[in-house]
Amino acid sequence: MDKIRSIQKVIKGTLTTDGAGVNLTRIIGGPELNMLDPFLLLDEFGSDNPNDYIAGFPPHPHRGFETITYMLNGKWQHKDSAGHEGLLGEGSVQWMTAGRGIIHSEMPIQTDGLARGFQLWLNLPKEKKMIDPAYADIPSEAIPIVNVAGGTVKVISGTFEGITGPGKPHTGMLYYDVRLKNNVELDLPIPDGWNTFLYIYEGSIFLDEVYSKGQLLTFSQNGNLSFKSSSNGVRIILVAGEPLNEPVARGGPFVMNTRGEVLKAFEDFQNGKFES
Ligand code: CO
């Protein structure tokens, strides 16, 4: 019988404000879970009150990692200094590789209604931190959805039952959106050695006990991930990645390996080296 991963940590996010005044929940990257190698940050934004999101994220820089934004609801627009422009609609994904430096904005186009989704920061390995910036706009139709008994697995990145998602990470990583009806058991293979988390955004699941909406669970590094949806069904995002096991130096929007590299990023940004 396959080994089953055990729960390591159960956390809830912290309410915070980012950008020009967007209210969101920081789940990874906050005091409870600073990072889960190779993941540096996970934010959930979700509100039908425009005051919570209308200010958006005006132009700001990044260096050294990738940002992956998954929209559940709403319409936002992305623009960046490398000349990319993209629309984020319902069910779509924006995959931005900051590499050696990018300045981007993420602003709502909607003026009312629900805006909901996630932003995940995926670290780049030392040898790839200074690669050219890149951007991929992945529309909802381009993301495969695999049927399982009692639900679906949307494959944003990685491979599930032979179906590979469109997201192209620079290191081993998978990202699924799993939706299950009530009382469905799921047993998912995940490569041994990878760090894994799931975040419940609707409903609840049963493992050793019941976990519900708003909780993030991390798991031990080997074996399958196995759980059952509870009587009201569940929606989760499930993310796993190969740890980089490298030093991490963070300075706001820059994530490098040393303090000196972070200072250099601030200096390069101030000297306009992110502009093209
Ligand atoms: Co950003």
Q: Ligand 1 centroid vs 67 CA: distance in angstroms?
A: 7
The type of residue at 213 is K
- Is 106 within the bounds of a domain? yes
- Is 2 within the bounds of a domain? no
CA separation for the pair 178, 148 (Å, rounded): 10
Q: Ligand 1 centroid vs 58 CA: distance in angstroms?
A: 9
Cα dist from 215 to 71, 212, 232, whole Å: 19, 6, 16
Q: How many domains does the chain have?
A: 1
By residue range, what is the domain housing residue 148? 7-270
- Is 189 within the bounds of a domain? yes
- Is 124 within the bounds of a domain? yes
Run of H or E residues at 274 = none
CA separation for the pair 156, 168 (Å, rounded): 9
Q: Ligand 1 centroid vs 237 CA: distance in angstroms?
A: 20
Cα dist from 103 to 47, 75, 78, 156, 271, whole Å: 26, 20, 11, 24, 13
Peptide bond into 38 cis (omega under 30): yes
pLDDT score recorded for residue 275: 78
Q: Ligand 1 centroid vs 55 CA: distance in angstroms?
A: 14
Q: Are 122 and 173 in contact (CB under 8 A)?
A: yes
- Is 59 within the bounds of a domain? yes
- Is 219 within the bounds of a domain? yes
pLDDT score recorded for residue 111: 87
- Is 50 within the bounds of a domain? yes
pLDDT score recorded for residue 2: 62
pLDDT digits (tens, 9 = 90+) for 70-104: 999 999 999 999 899 998 999 999 999 999 999 99
pTM (2 d.p.): 0.96
Q: Ligand 1 centroid vs 63 CA: distance in angstroms?
A: 10
Q: Ligand 1 centroid vs 60 CA: distance in angstroms?
A: 6
Q: Ligand 1 centroid vs 192 CA: distance in angstroms?
A: 31
Q: Ligand 1 centroid vs 260 CA: distance in angstroms?
A: 22
Over 70: is that where the pLDDT of 276 sits?
Answer: no
SS3 194: coil
As beta bridge partners, residue 68 has 95, 120
pLDDT digits (tens, 9 = 90+) for 162-210: 999 999 999 999 999 999 999 999 999 999 999 999 999 999 999 989 9
Q: Ligand 1 centroid vs 161 CA: distance in angstroms?
A: 32
Q: Ligand 1 centroid vs 263 CA: distance in angstroms?
A: 19
The CATH number that applies at residue 187 is 2.60.120.10
- Is 103 within the bounds of a domain? yes
